[in-house]
């Protein structure tokens, strides 16, 4: 590496002829590129397959070890890395040879001896294409994020939650690896909206999601299930792990007030926990229903608690009866 300027565009020169290599290097440094040199094809491929590799490459067609077109073919096989724009330098002028190089993955070519300004212009074209591709990928990533995440809280949305439950249930059926589902409901959330307004309620939901996410493991999934309800899929977990996580989140929500523009708001939450190993032959939908019923039993018993569904015969009040439990006006 001949330059450490962080704002410079990185480019690889792969050229075994010392005179041509020196000329290319001097031109590219003059044009403010960050230059890496390879003197044979094997070294060039190793550089282009490394982390943080240059995204622009000027490859000589004929090199020891591996030809430039062979390098093109190899790097195009890798779809898991950022795209590399390849400019092929060649002394060949036959149309068939040029087409062969482009078919194998080169983006452009320049015949020797080349014109310096033409080289510069073609590298600028390559950089514009790379910048455009990066912009499109960033936009695609943003659209994908919006399609899979709740816009208010930033956690996964209901669709992701249901996919995660189905995936873990299939794994449980196949490998008998137990998993847990935690259904969470913010207690008396309607009172917050009615008393302080929906902006305060939004702040509460965002902070509640943040506290839940801080409590789980990296491979667990926190989702906004709808309204003030959240769902957590606990991977590779038995009933003690799942219930302990529910309690950890419950304490995290209860222990500190929620700072809002309307002042501090004290909150609690109720939790229903279902574990696949306790659910017999129940399918994923029935397991979700079991967690939902456990949640409403927790609300029926006074809220700010976790209830574990212990069997498919789990006895519980219905949603309707749980909703009839009197709501006290003061914070818990």
d(CA 148, CA 155): 9
247 is catalytic: no
Are the C-beta atoms of residues 49 and 84 closer than 8 Å to each other? no
Q: Which residues are bridge partners to 90 per DSSP?
A: 111
* Distance, CA of 131 to CA of 141 (rounded, Å): 15
Point out the catalytic residue in the list 168, 228, 239, 307: 228
What does DSSP say about strands 258-260 and 263-265: parallel, antiparallel, or unpaired?
antiparallel
Residue 310's alpha-carbon distances to 17, 153, 156, 243, in angstroms, are 75, 31, 27, 11
- Integer angstrom CA distances of residue 170 from 175, 240, 241, 283: 8, 21, 20, 9
Cα R_g (the chain), whole angstroms: 30
Q: How many CB atoms lie within 10 A of CB 279?
A: 23
Q: Are strands 180-186 and 269-275 parallel, antiparallel or unpaired?
A: antiparallel
Q: What are the tokens at 138?
A: 């960033």
Catalytic (active-site) positions: 228
């Amino acid at each position: 590496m001949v330059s450490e300027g962080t704002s410079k565009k990185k480019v690889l020169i792969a050229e075994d002829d010392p005179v041509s290599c020196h000329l290319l290097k001097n031109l590219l440094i003059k044009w403010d590129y960050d230059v890496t040199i390879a003197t044979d094809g094997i070294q060039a491929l190793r550089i282009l397959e490394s982390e943080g590799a240059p995204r622009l490459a000027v490859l000589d067609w004929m090199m020891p070890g591996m030809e430039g077109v062979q390098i093109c073919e190899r790097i195009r096989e890798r779809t898991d890395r950022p795209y590399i724009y390849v400019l092929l330098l060649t002394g060949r002028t036959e149309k068939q040879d040029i087409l062969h190089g482009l078919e194998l993955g080169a983006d452009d070519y320049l015949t020797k001896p080349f014109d310096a300004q033409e080289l510069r212009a073609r590298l600028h074209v390559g950089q514009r294409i790379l910048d455009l591709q990066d912009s499109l990928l960033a936009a695609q990533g943003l659209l994908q994020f919006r399609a899979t995440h709740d816009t208010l809280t930033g956690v996964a949305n209901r669709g992701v939650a249901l996919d995660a439950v189905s995936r873990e249930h299939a794994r449980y059926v196949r490998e008998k690896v137990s998993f847990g589902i935690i259904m969470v409901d913010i207690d008396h959330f309607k009172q917050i909206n009615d008393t302080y307004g929906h902006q305060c309620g939004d702040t509460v939901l965002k902070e509640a999601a943040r506290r839940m996410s801080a409590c789980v493991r990296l491979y667990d999934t926190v989702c906004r299930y709808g309204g003030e309800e959240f769902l957590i899929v606990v991977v590779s977990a038995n009933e003690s792990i799942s219930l302990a996580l529910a309690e950890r989140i419950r304490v995290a929500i209860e222990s500190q007030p929620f700072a809002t523009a309307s002042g501090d708001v004290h909150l609690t939450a109720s939790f229903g926990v279902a574990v696949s190993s306790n659910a017999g032959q129940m399918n994923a939908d029935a397991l979700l229903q079991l967690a939902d019923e456990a949640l409403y039993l927790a609300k029926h018993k006074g809220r700010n608690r976790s209830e574990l569904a212990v069997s498919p015969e789990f006895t519980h009040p219905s949603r309707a009866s749980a909703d009839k439990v009197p709501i006290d006006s003061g914070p818990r």
